[in-house]
Amino acid sequence: MTYLSVNINKIATLRNARGGDLPDVVKSAIKCQLFGADGITIHPRPDQRHITRNDVYNLKEVIKKEYNIEGYPSDNFVKLVIDIMPTQVTLVPDASNIITSNNGWDTVKNYSLLKDIIKEFKKNNIRTSIFVNPKIKMVEGAKLCGTDRIELYTEDYATNYFFNKEKAIAPYLESAKKATEFGLGINAGHDLSLENLEFFAKEIPNLEEVSIGHALISDAIYLGLENTIQMYKRLL
């Protein structure tokens, strides 16, 4: 069974555009779980452009399923995650000024950093995942770093899906097979949608979780949040 983790960053972005508490991020997380989401994902960036530090703590009280916190492993982020003790931490190589995650880790070049950070999280019984491009060398590096899972960065798949979906998924399939060989769990995320999710989930073996935010929240504007979550769930 592949879990659907709903990324609620965009709900926080909408709230912050006006100020106040509408839409309510905490209430949204409660509703997403009620409507069938298997978990909630957030990415508390240093500039608090969407999810704020207060949100991270407030959500801890209401997330009864999986709580996944994404971020670059700065000292402040590591301290925050250890204080919150989420189900999973997903490490991304984002610079502080980029709009959204746009690349995976170079797990070879950043081996020492990732290994030490992962060791700290695992010491606190927090499951770890590393955001990687679908390249065998990066999967091998992730294994050496000691992570529990990888998250395959799926923008290239989504971009090329309508041109040639078999070709688009090939490097992801190869990487997933190698990850399974290494005993790594497999997550995926970025630009997965109602149009491309079903094929991806069917083709990738041992896919444990997809994290979807932008497309899902956008679809919910037209289709309703409960209906949208159920539509995504049916594709997994």
Residue 115 · residue 147 · CB < 8 Å? no
Task: Specify whether 50 is catalytic.
Answer: no
Helix (H, G, I), strand (E, B) or coil at 133: coil
Identify the burial level of 128 via C-beta atoms within 10 angstroms of its C-beta, where 0-12 means exposed, 13-18 middle and 19 or more buried.
buried
Task: Check 50, 66, 70, 209 and give the catalytic one.
Answer: 70
Reduce the DSSP state of residue 210 to 3 states and report it.
strand
Annotated catalytic residue within 50, 66, 151, 190: 190
Backbone angles phi, psi at 96, to 5 degrees: -70, -20
Q: Residue 187 is inside which H or E element, if any?
A: strand 185-189
Token readout for 62 is 């209401």
Query: Is-catalytic flag, 43?
Result: yes
Q: Is 118 helix (H, G, I), strand (E, B) or coil?
A: helix
In this structure, what are the phi and psi dihedrals at residue 53, rounded to the nearest 5 degrees?
-60, -40
Catalytic residue list contains 214: no
Catalytic residue among 43, 50, 66, 209, which? 43
Query: Which are the catalytic amino acids?
Result: 43, 70, 190
